[in-house]
Amino acid sequence: MMSEQNRSSETQPQRSLKIENLVKEYVPGKPILNDISFEVQGTSSVAVIGPSGTGKSTLIRCVNKLIPPTSGNVYVSGENITPLKGQELRKARRKIGMVFQEFNLVERLSVMENVLCGRLGYVAPWRAWLRKYPAEEINRASELLESIGLLDFAHQRADSLSGGQRQRVGIARAIMQEPHVLLADEPTSSLDPKTSVEIMELLLGLSETHGLPLIINIHDVELAKRFTDRVIGLSKGGIIYDGPPSELSNDNLKEIYGGASWLL
Amino acid sequence: MVAITEKTKPEYGTPFKANWWARAGWLLAILYVFYAANYLDVSWTRFISGLSNGAEFLGEMVPVNFSRWQLLVSNLLETVEIAVIASAFGIVFSLPIGLFAARNLMPSWVTWPARIFIALCRSFHPVIFAILFVKAVGFGPLAGILTLIFASIGFIGKLFAEAIEEISLKPVEALRASGAPFISIIVYAVVPQVQNRFIGFSSYQFDANLRNSTMVGIVGAGGIGGTLFAAFQRFDYDFLAAILISIIGLVMVSEFISLQIKKVFQ
């Protein structure tokens, strides 16, 4: 992993994600995301908080065009993703690692196969089908599995793992892409409190070692405050707070979520 | 305690609504069965008189005549060959056709032609297909093979498409997000989810093909059916019994084999 870090820091001075005037309307005239702009660089981590249905998942999926944005631009390490289509879009998506709330693993494949899924964007389909991955990629997958403590499980089916273990596999899959940015859509919402903390630590640690900006959608405000160095509060499709977690006040939270009875 | 004997009405009305349309529908269905039976002269007396005919027919079957076993064996082999070849091609063709017909992965301009083709394959009974193919390619096993290929595509293709439509799209989303090409997404995120069911459908269809390949011969499309029909017409009931027993044996053997196949892939 050290060698990769060196390689990446040589070729890529700093990795970044820039979102510019992003608008998404499912129904014309009723934007769910309205003019969102922010930039994340280097190893900084951003927590996106906000009530359910406010467009956090939509925002994160607009970055890699799983959901096409209505207007606005998304730049990954300076490259504009938004106008890309087909082959070019596929290649651009390799630079965007994504971690999911429900892990989105292929349950019937082995842990190793799931991790190597992160290389499918690079490997020709017939090679992938025959499981003929280049040796260095298999080595990297093994190293990654060892570092997250799952090398012994490499040949087990993904559905035999616990929730926390599965999320680790999901994260390893995203890291295998050699991404320039890591997106996490509620990565801890299906997990217990202890495992949630472990997953946050893992995400932050990988962001540090690989020099990746990290964007996390998260419901747990305390977890966000504890781990990330910037919080973006979304409400009714707009950013209404953008700053360090230490300055996030109860008034801000009231404005983001509405009401106050849930605050201690 | 007293209230139990009294007939009380629930305060908020009955919890379950009576569906009068459904009740009327059932009543109509039952009335139609009686009407149709009467119209077609299906009666108990006819059934009873038929029983004695049947007994006579069974009596002529024994002793079973296996003296022409060479003809029997060669016919059986042809039947099995028809089923195996038709199943192999049917399975290979129904894989892509089923995939093209899955509405959750394909755009509608792909699914519509595929679904129409599957519907055409399913719209005719194999006997009708067999008659058409005998006219088209002449008497013999080729007509039977073509018949059963179409029957296989109709069955496996439809069920395979439905199986794909029921998969979880979460891994598909993950692989799309990682920039995987479409074929790799199919191979990694779709196939593992439907593979077992596909094998199940295929072995079931192989069973069906074996049974149907004994039948297509009746209209001249090869296999043991032709000999069976000839034996019927010549009142060769003892040889007929031999044919029937061998068909039963054949189907039982195939049932056993497909059970073993399913065990392997469980």
Structure confidence by residue, pLDDT tens digits, B132-148: 999 999 888 899 999 99
Work out the percent of chain B whose per-residue pLDDT is above 90.
48
Residue B140 belongs to what domain range?
Answer: 71-265
**A205 neighbors A217 (Cβ within 8 angstroms):** no
Q: What does DSSP say about strands A71-76 and A16-27: parallel, antiparallel, or unpaired? A: antiparallel
Domains held by chain B: number:
1
**How far from chain centre, in Å, is Cα A164?**
16
From A153-157, A165-169, B230-234, the region with the lowest mean pLDDT? B230-234
In a domain, B64, yes or no: no
pLDDT at A124 over 60: yes
| ipTM value for the complex | 0.88
Q: Within an 8 Å CB–CB cutoff, is residue B192 touching chain A? A: yes
Q: From chain A, which residues contact B within 8 Å (Cβ)?
A: 64, 66, 90-94, 96-98, 100, 102-109, 113, 117-118, 120-121, 123, 125, 128-129, 170, 173-174, 177
- Asked if the Cβ–Cβ distance from B173 to A104 is below 8 Å, we say yes
**How far from chain centre, in Å, is Cα B150?**
12
Chain mean pLDDT for chain B: 88
CA–CA separation, B91 and B201 (whole Å): 9
Distance from CA of B117 to the nearest CA of A (A): 28
The CATH number of the domain where B132 resides is what?
1.10.3720.10
In a domain, B19, yes or no: no
- Asked if the Cβ–Cβ distance from A92 to B171 is below 8 Å, we say no
- Asked if the Cβ–Cβ distance from B173 to A66 is below 8 Å, we say yes
Question: Kindly report the CA angle at B162 between B161 and B167, in degrees rounded to 5?
Answer: 100
Q: Which residue of B has its CA nearest to A181?
A: B178
Q: Which residue of A has its CA nearest to B169?
A: A104
Nearest to A109 among B180, B185, B188 (CB): B188
**B177 neighbors B58 (Cβ within 8 angstroms):** no
In a domain, B181, yes or no: yes
Q: Which residue of B has its CA nearest to A85?
A: B179
- The pLDDT, as a whole number, for residue A10 is 46
Alpha-carbon torsion B104, B109, B110, B116, what sign?
positive
Single pTM value for the model: 0.80
pLDDT in tens, A180-190: 999 999 999 98
CA–CA separation, B228 and B245 (whole Å): 11
Question: Kindly report the CA angle at B249 between B246 and B250, in degrees rounded to 5?
Answer: 85
**Which residues does chain B have within 8 Å of residue A101's beta carbon, measured at their own beta carbons?**
none
- Asked if the Cβ–Cβ distance from B183 to A105 is below 8 Å, we say no
Q: Within an 8 Å CB–CB cutoff, is residue B266 touching chain A? A: no
Q: Residue by residue, what is the 3-state secondary structure of chain B?
A: CHHHCCCCCCCCCCCCCCCHHHHHHHHHHHHHHHHHHHHCCCCHHHHHHHHHHHHHHHHHHCCCCCCCHHHHHHHHHHHHHHHHHHHHHHHHHHHHHHHHCCCCCCCHHHHHHHHHHHHHHHHCCHHHHHHHHHHHHCCCHHHHHHHHHHHHHHHHHHHHHHHHHCCCCHHHHHHHHCCCCHHHHHHHHHHHHHHHHHHHHHHHHHHHHHHHHCCHHHHCCCCHHHHHHHHHHCCCHHHHHHHHHHHHHHHHHHHHHHHHHHHHHC
pLDDT in tens, A158-177: 999 999 999 999 999 999 99
- Asked if the Cβ–Cβ distance from B187 to A128 is below 8 Å, we say yes
- Asked if the Cβ–Cβ distance from B178 to A92 is below 8 Å, we say no
